[in-house]
Amino acid sequence: MPSLQEIVAFCDTRTRQKEIKDFSGAYNGLQLENNGQVTKVAAAVDAGKRPFEAAIAAGVDFLICHHGLYWTAPIPLVGSDYTKIKTAMDGNLAVYGAHLPLDGHPEIGNNALLADALGLNKIDTFLSYEGNDMAVIAEGPSGGRAELATKLEALFPQTYQAIEYGSDQPKRIGILTGSGQSAVAHLKANDIDTLITGELRQHHFNMAQELGLNLYPCGHYATEVFGVQALAQEVAKAFGIEYTFIEQPCRL
């Protein structure tokens, strides 16, 4: 069976995590180790107590999460934080986090894979963060906004929302999974009037009207299930071990 060290090295290399600078306080890479061996890998969007419990119940000992454990300065391991970490440690569950490295990746990134899932042709990138573009620009479908909306509603039946004040024949579509508020102000400068994202704020409704934008917030969680699954599947294939996805009923 593969060692924890071998699989962590594979993930570090594949996500280019040492090259991609994340937000202040965010930590990418191995966040909690196990006994040093891996027999089954899983993916989850969030590093939470219930995903940990589900992974352990499924016999998983290496869990890849998009939203990992560490985002701020060190905190006391008390209360629910203690319980969560104890759950993972008692279950011999290693936890690996990959945030921005699994957003902007050109092959297994959330944005690139969402474009693929919608059958859209990727033509450019935008929204640079610390020297690396995070968001994708895709070519609008031949059926225009109506075709795009139909595909989005089919892909995200529980979380699809539409704010449509832009062109009914968009040529360039921005894709930024998760929180999309950082992208809205940069759309027009990149000749984009349509954005697919996870979540927005209320004032973006007014911005859509005033700037003539199509905005499609389809759920932070729902739009970020792609990258962790792709990475975990690659790990499973490369090391000949089992894989599963730990899904949560999150509509936010």
Six token digits for residue 59? 């016999």
Let me know: does 164 contact 138? Beta carbons within 8 Å.
no
Q: What is the pLDDT of residue 62?
A: 98
Output the CA–CA distances (angstroms, integers) from residue 146 to 112, 121, 153, 210, 213, in the order listed.
Answer: 21, 17, 11, 21, 14
pTM, entire model: 0.95
Six token digits for residue 79? 């209360």
Per-residue b or e along 61-94, where b marks 16 or more CB atoms closer than 10 Å to that residue's CB: bbbbbbbbbbeeeeeeeeeeeeebbebbeebbbb
Give, as one character, the DSSP assignment of residue 121. Answer: P
Let me know: does 183 contact 174? Beta carbons within 8 Å.
yes
Phi and psi (nearest 5°) for 106? -70, -15
Let me know: does 152 contact 160? Beta carbons within 8 Å.
yes
Per-residue b or e along 20-33, where b marks 16 or more CB atoms closer than 10 Å to that residue's CB: bebeeeeebbbbbb
Q: Which domains does the chain have, with CATH numbers?
A: 4-98 (3.40.1390.30), 110-222 (3.40.1390.30)
Tens place of pLDDT per residue across the chain (252 aa): 899 999 999 999 999 998 999 998 899 999 999 999 999 999 999 999 999 999 999 999 999 999 999 988 777 888 999 999 999 999 999 999 999 999 999 999 999 999 999 999 999 999 999 999 999 999 999 999 999 999 999 999 999 999 999 999 999 999 999 999 999 999 999 999 999 999 999 999 999 999 999 999 999 999 999 999 999 999 999 999 999 999 999 999
